[in-house]
A and B are shown apart, each in its own frame.
Chain A
Amino acid sequence: MTALLPETASGITVERLLLQYEVEQFLYHEADLLGRHDYDAWLALFTDDLRYYMPIRRNHSSRDPETVEHDDALALIDDDKPFLAERIAKIATGKAWADDPLPRVRHLLTNVVIGEEDAKAGEFTVTSYLLIVRNRLEDEQDSFVCGRTDRFRRTPDGLRISRRRIVLDQSVILSKNMSVMF
Chain B
Amino acid sequence: MSLQRGRAFADDAETLIDRSIFSDPVLHRQELARVFARSWLFLAHESQFTKPGDFFTTYMGADPVIVTRQRDGSYKVVLNSCRHRGMRVCRYDSGNAKAFTCPYHGWSYGTDGALLSVPEEEAAYGDGLDHSAWGLAAVPRVETYKGLVFGTWDTEIPPLTEYLGDFTYYLDALVDLDGEGTTAAAGVHRWRMRGNWKLGAEQFAGDMYHAYSTHLSALIAEAPHSKGIRPPEEGFQVGLPGGHGLGGYPGYPYWHAQGFSAEVEDWIGNMLERAAERLGPARTTGAVFIHGTAFPNLSLLWNRWTLRVWHPKGPDAMEVHSWSILPKNAPPAVRRALLLDYQRHFSASGTWEQDDAEQWNYSTSGSDGFVTASLPLHYGMGVGRGPNKDFPEFPGTVDTVYSEINQRHFYRRWSELMAVPHPAEKAAPETPAAQSPTSETPVTESAKAVIA
Contact = CB atoms under 8 A, between A and B. Distances in A.
A and B found bound together:
yes
B343 A78 contact: yes
A9 interface: no
Contact of B221 (A54, A63, A78, A89): A89
A72 interface: yes
A178 interface: yes
Given A76-B349, A175-B191, A89 B220 contact: yes
Contacts of A76: 189, 347-349
A172 to B, nearest CB: 4
Contacts of B216: 93, 95
Contact of A95 (B187, B220, B340): B220
B354 interface: yes
Given A59-B91, A74-B339, A98-B358, A173 B221 contact: no
Interface in B306-330: 319, 324, 326
A168 to B, nearest CB: 10
A173 B218 CA distance: 22
A33 B324 CA distance: 34
B375 interface: no
Interface in B203-218: 214, 216-218
A45 to B, nearest CB: 20
B348 to A, nearest CB: 5
A174 B194 CA distance: 10
Task: Label chain A's interface by main secondary structure.
Answer: loop
Interface centre among B91, B185, B358 (most CB of A within 10 A): B358
Interface residues of B, number: 45
Contacts of A61: 92, 95
Interface string B95-120: 11000000000000000000000000
A68 to B, nearest CB: 5
Interface string B151-162: 000000000000
Interface string B343-363: 110011101011101110100
B92 A87 contact: no
B186 interface: yes
Contacts of A68: 186-187
A97 to B, nearest CB: 5
A68 B324 CA distance: 15
Contacts of B353: 177
A42 B267 CA distance: 37
B343 A74 contact: yes
Given A71-B336, A96-B354, A86 B95 contact: no
Contacts of B326: 72
A71 B222 CA distance: 23
Interface centre among B214, B216, B326, B347 (most CB of A within 10 A): B347
Contacts of B361: 176
A174 B357 CA distance: 12
B348 A178 contact: yes
Nearest to A87: B351
Contact of A176 (B193, B214, B220, B332): B193
A91 interface: yes
B83 interface: no
A70 B186 contact: yes
A78 B361 CA distance: 26
Contacts of A79: 344
A105 to B, nearest CB: 15
A26 interface: no
A127 B188 CA distance: 27
A73 B340 CA distance: 10
A86 B354 CA distance: 14
A86 B221 contact: yes
Contact of B186 (A73, A93, A97): A73
A143 interface: no
A179 interface: yes
B38 interface: no
Nearest to A58: B93
A73 B336 CA distance: 9
A82 to B, nearest CB: 8
Nearest to A180: B349
A171 B447 CA distance: 33
A11 to B, nearest CB: 38
Contact of B349 (A60, A63, A73, A77): A77
Given A76-B349, A176-B361, A96 B355 contact: yes
A172 B192 contact: yes
Nearest to A68: B186
Given A58-B94, A61-B92, A70-B186, A176 B358 contact: yes
A58 to B, nearest CB: 5
A173 B186 contact: no
30 contacts: A59-B91, A59-B93, A60-B92, A61-B95, A63-B96, A72-B185, A72-B186, A72-B336, A74-B189, A75-B343, A76-B189, A76-B347, A76-B348, A89-B220, A90-B221, A93-B217, A97-B214, A98-B354, A98-B357, A171-B93, A172-B191, A172-B192, A173-B189, A173-B190, A174-B191, A177-B193, A177-B348, A177-B349, A179-B349, A179-B354
Given A96-B355, A174-B191, A177-B358, 15 more contacts: A56-B189, A74-B187, A75-B187, A76-B347, A90-B218, A93-B217, A93-B221, A94-B217, A96-B354, A98-B355, A98-B357, A172-B191, A172-B192, A178-B354, A179-B349
The 10 closest A-B pairs by CB, nearest first: A173-B191, A74-B187, A176-B193, A73-B186, A96-B217, A178-B349, A90-B221, A98-B354, A176-B357, A177-B354
